[in-house]
Structure 1
Amino acid sequence: MTRHIPNRPATLNRDPLVLFDATAVPANRGGVGRYVDGLLGELGGRIEIACQLRDAAHFRSIAPHAAVLPQAIGIESPVRRLIWEQLQLPALARRRGATVIHSPHYTLPLFTTRARVVTLHDATFFSDPHVHTRLKGAFFRLWTRISVRLARQIIVPSQATADEVNRYTRRHVTFVVAHHGVDFDVFHRPTPQQIQQVSKEYDLGEPGWITFLGTLEPRKNLPALIRAYGLVATSMAGTGLLIPPLVLVGARGWDSTIEAEIAALPAVARVKTLGYVPANQLSAILGGAAVMVYPSLGEGFGLPVLEAMACGTPVLTTRCLALPEVGGDAVAYSEPTEVSIATELLALLSAPDRQADLSMRGEKRAQSFTWSSCARTHTLAYRRARAI
């Protein structure tokens, strides 16, 4: 059973001193990085941020109310950072007088007298182990079980994640559901000039491309998307219609099949792989797309879907795990198979009125997902952790 903490105004003299461990955030801001940035930019109360040296100026700029504590160089590797978390983070909390430690990415210090809060982002390490490397899957399954047992408050981004973690750990604990938000300064409907500029920079051609946003990893189901795009391109080739390119945006993960899938496409298909793109260009890439396709096999939240909706981009995704919780009736759905993706994508490309309707619905729905609401829920979780 999951209990939502109601949003109530924060009172500073009731807030514990929270040491927020941001040392695990990667330099390139993917989903977890955007969660941490969005949250810290809105958190009030007494917050201190432990971070890597490279991120100190960044966190000072987005969270001027917080004390930023850059840590010694040498914890950039995951192993060294984990050692630092276990040995140095508890000592840092004692020196700073923190009453709560928030670990925002699965792991937490094993030995500390401080109240621990942890964020668990999804349970796909249990439900879909084949989409992760063996080592990564074993690591995060172990730490999920440990964190569920030790943390006083467990924050998850969706009800689906809460249900899945309870299902696989069999602990039947109470979770705090804090939906992610959107940085509307970054993700918004772009101007035609912004779309033309990004199209020219990345050689995308006329607006109306098909796009994907996310890490290029097996969980995102990109081979099925690429094959589905090949079916769509072949179908459109006989109509005389302009075939839009498929634009893949995101850092390279460990899916080694993508290049071979692209190479096997028919000659009429065009795929552009852009790699990591700075956040300030994403709204134009998304906003210039006819459709953003996100055929994931499972998400703890699905932040790219929400960000595309905020840009007024029609979205086609799956009903796997938390994605319907984010998209509601403002997105189109398919099964995570190439035939289903191709069928729904072709239908959407052939229906401008449907695209316009999803654009309007998605942009409106995105407005209800804010980082300020997410931050209020976190603040109440910190208070509850101190009180237990």
Structure 2
Amino acid sequence: MPQLTVLVDGTAVPRELGGVGRYVEGVVSHLTDPALDVHLVVRPVHAPHFAAVAPHATVHTAPGWTDSVPLRFLWEQTGLPALGRRLGARVLHSPHYTFPFGWRGGSVVTLHDATFFSNPEWHSRLKRTFFTWWSRRSLRSRPVVIVPSAATATEAARVVTGIRADVRVAPLGVDRAVFHEPSTAEVEDARIAATLPEGAPWIAFLGTIEPRKNVTALLDAYATVRTSRAAAGADTPWLVLSGARGWDESAIARLDALQPDEHVIEAGYLPLEDLAGYLGGAEFVVYPSLGEGFGLPVVEAMASGACVLTTRRLSLPEVGGDAAVYTEPSADALASAMTGLLDDPSLVASHRAAALARAASFTWEATAAVHVGAYESVAGGAR
């Protein structure tokens, strides 16, 4: 039987990889079925990385000018289908909402999130306009659309009419080489990377500073916890935020006004190799999101052996299961839940053990298997 030639478009992966980068990396590196002839096209900045993590795939480099976002979309509509035809690809996988209209082979599109429809206030006007337009087109015109959670599939069905796509759920995986129970040395390396004082315990947050991450409520809750514990003569671990600044102006204003004696550190991007130590070495990880398409930081924290405090919004209970601790996202509820964990080390320990067991069920092999099924189902036809 001849191999099925699949072309994956990785040109939308951001320079720092980020969520979509982790997704493309995780899926493509596990598309090792010998029945597949896998091709991946990326921007020049990413070519060496993907060639290293997916040696079984043929990595192609898009023109350097695709670093420009408008020009990347132009290339996607023209150069990408031309590359697919030249390779004899029967399937084109577009892993980040958009796809070339001129492609006549099998087509699979991944939609990571439906909150552009359900909660537009969490996104900039440009992003919500762009992504709702492309999400509708994908759901109405592509044969198969992949989403990372049942919650995202349900939300898409609720808000988009005329869906023709076969919507398939492929929960994301976690890289055990990166996210694992950390050694003492890895915890200390993470402490240094986060600029924490020697010996200081910490509470960890991982994510972009954007409205849905609910960082303002987290900062308010943390201040309440510190005040109440200080009145009782108890110390409180530092709060460390790791991730890029997004468009949450309220949270950013609060962060800019922080004083050193408030014991909050904005660590920015931490190196990937420090994340297991950062997450697993924390007293607990708090992820107070108002809603996610999946919530990869929750899985990554659980795989690092962390007790995770999160919310029951959208996909997060699918990810956390019984292993996570849940709270309402208000500052008062967060403060109460954080205090409860700080006052009950045995509860934290039990959730650490449950987290490791829960995280074991999220594998990139399982994610890739859903993708292989999608590729095979669209290979014979076009839309």
TM-score (norm 1): 0.94
Q: Does residue 222 of structure 2 align to residue 234 of structure 1?
A: no
Contact 1:227 1:265 in 2 (8 A): no
Distance 1:264 1:89 in 2: 46
- Aligned pair in 2 of structure 1 residues 312, 207: CA closer, same or farther (>3 Å)? farther
Counterpart residue number, 2:284? 291
Cα 1:169–1:14 shift into 2, 3 Å: farther
> 1:107 matched to which residue of 2?
98
Partners of 2:102 and 2:372 in 1: how far apart? 23
* Aligned counterparts of 2:41 and 2:309: Cα–Cα separation in 1: 38
2:300 matched to which residue of 1?
307
Contact 2:106 2:380 in 1 (8 A): no
The alignment status of 1:203 with 2:175, answered yes or no, reads no
Q: 2:134 matched to 1:143? A: yes
Q: Once the two structures are superposed, what CA deviation does each residue of 1:7-33 show, in whole Å capped at 9, x if it has no partner?
A: xxxxxx475211100000011121111
- Tell me the residue number matched to 2:271: 278
Query: Structure 2 vs 1, CA of residues 266 and 55 (structure 1 numbering), >3 Å: closer, same or farther?
Result: closer
| CA 80–267 in structure 1, closer or farther in 2 if over 3 Å, else same | closer
Residue in structure 1 matching 2:362, options 369, 375, 388: 369
Q: Deviations 1:83-105 (Å, cap 9, x if unpaired)?
A: 11011111111111001100000
CA distance, structure 1, for counterparts of residue 94 and residue 138 of structure 2: 10
Change (3 A) 1:259 1:169: closer
Instruction: Pick one of 50, 66, 69 that aligns with 1:78.
Output: 69
Q: Secondary structure at the match of 1:20?
A: strand
Does residue 194 (structure 1) correspond to residue 186 (structure 2)? The answer is yes
Contact 1:19 1:50 in 2 (8 A): yes
In the aligned structure 1, how far is the partner of 2:378 from the partner of 2:358?
31
For the 8 Å contact 1:15–1:383, the answer to whether it is kept is no
Question: Matches of 2:256 and 2:62 in 1, distance apart?
Answer: 45
User: Distance between the aligned counterparts of 2:68 and 2:343, measured in 1?
Assistant: 48
Question: Structure 1 residues 265, 347: CA separation in 2 closer, same or farther (over 3 Å shift)?
Answer: farther
Cα deviation digits, residues 131-165 of structure 1 (max 9, x gap) = 10011101000000011122111101111111111
Structure 2 unmatched ranges of 5 or more: none
Residue 174 (str. 1) matches residue 166 (str. 2):
yes
What's 1:323 paired with?
316
Report what 2:211 is aligned to: 218
* Amino acid across the alignment from 2:7: L
Whole-Å separation in 2 of the counterparts to 1:299 and 1:207: 31
Cα displacement (A) at 1:200? 2.7
Taking the aligned partners of 1:133 and 1:198, their CA distance within structure 2 comes to 32
Cα gap change, 1:302/1:174 in structure 2, threshold over 3 Å: closer, same or farther? same
Q: TM-score, normalised by structure 2?
A: 0.95
Deviation at 1:268, TM superposition (A): 5.4
State the Cα deviation string for residues 203-246 of structure 1 (Å, max 9, x = none): 21335311100111111111111111111111111122222111
Q: Offset of 1:201 from its aligned partner?
A: 3.6
Instruction: Say whether 1:53 aligns with 2:44.
Output: yes
**Residue 338 (1) aligns with residue 326 (2):** no
2:374 counterpart of 1:381: yes
> 1:187 is matched by which residue type in structure 2?
F
Paired position in structure 1 for 2:28: 40
Q: Please say if 1:97 is aligned against 2:88.
A: yes
Matching residue of 1:8 = none
Residue 6 of structure 1: aligned partner: none
Aligned 8 A contact 1:116 1:150 in 2? no
The partner residue of 1:157 within 148, 154, 162 is 148
Query: Do the aligned partners of 1:227 and 1:261 also contact (CA within 8 Å) in 2?
Result: no
How many pairs were matched up? 376
C-alpha separation between the residues in 1 aligned to 2:149 and 2:266? Answer: 30
| Cα shift readout 1:144-196 (whole Å, capped 9, x = no counterpart) | 00111221111011111111111111235431111100000000010112111
Q: 1:311 to 1:209 in 2, by over 3 A?
A: same
The equivalent residue for 1:17 is 5
Secondary structure at 1:111 match in 2:
coil
Select the residue among 106, 113, 116 that pairs with 1:122. Answer: 113
Q: Could you tell which deviates more after superposition, 258-267 or 276-285?
A: 258-267
State the AA in 1 paired with 2:116: F
* Secondary structure of 1:365 counterpart: helix
Counterpart CA distance in 1 for 2:180 and 2:222 is 26
Name the SS for the 1:257 alignment partner.
helix
Contact 1:21/1:49 (8 A) holds in 2: yes
User: Which one is further off, 256-265 or 327-336?
Assistant: 256-265
Gaps of 5+ in 1: 1-12
1:134 aligns with 2:122: no
Between the aligned partners of 2:193 and 2:131, the Cα distance in structure 1 is 38
**Aligned-pair CA distance for 1:128:** 0.8
In the alignment, is the contact (CA less than 8 A) between 2:200 and 2:238 conserved in 1? no
1:255 corresponds in structure 2 to: 248
Q: Give the stretch that moved more between structures: 323-332 or 225-234.
A: 225-234
